[in-house]
Amino acid sequence: MRTARWALIGAGGLVMVYAIAGALTDPDVKGGALLFLIGVLVAHDGVLLPLTIGAGALAGRLVPMPVRTLVRAALLVSLAVTVVALPLVLGRGRAVDNPSLLPLPYGRGQLETYAVIWAATGVAALVAARRRRSAGPADDSRAGRRSRQPRSHKPPSPNG
Q: Pick out residues in 19-38 that bind another protein (CB under 8 A).
A: 19-20, 22-23, 26, 28-33, 35-38
State yes or no: residue 113 binds another protein (CB under 8 A). Answer: yes
Fill in the DSSP letter of residue 140.
-
Q: Which of residues 63-82 bind another protein (CB under 8 A)?
A: 65, 68-69, 72-73, 76-77, 79-81
Among 54, 87, 122, 144, binds another protein (CB under 8 A): 87
CB of 63 to another protein, least distance (A): 8
Q: How far is CA 102 from the centre of its chain?
A: 24
Residue 143: strand, helix, or coil: helix
CB of 135 to another protein, least distance (A): 16
Residue 113: strand, helix, or coil: helix
CB of 14 to another protein, least distance (A): 7
Among 47, 90, 119, 127, binds another protein (CB under 8 A): 90
CA 159/CA 137 separation, integer angstroms = 17
Residue 124 burial class via C-beta count within 10 angstroms: exposed 0-12, middle 13-18, buried 19 and up: middle
Q: Which is nearer to another protein, 96 or 134 (CB)?
A: 96
CB of 129 to another protein, least distance (A): 15
One-letter amino acid identity for 155? P
Is residue 89 within 8 Å of residue 107, measured between CB atoms? yes
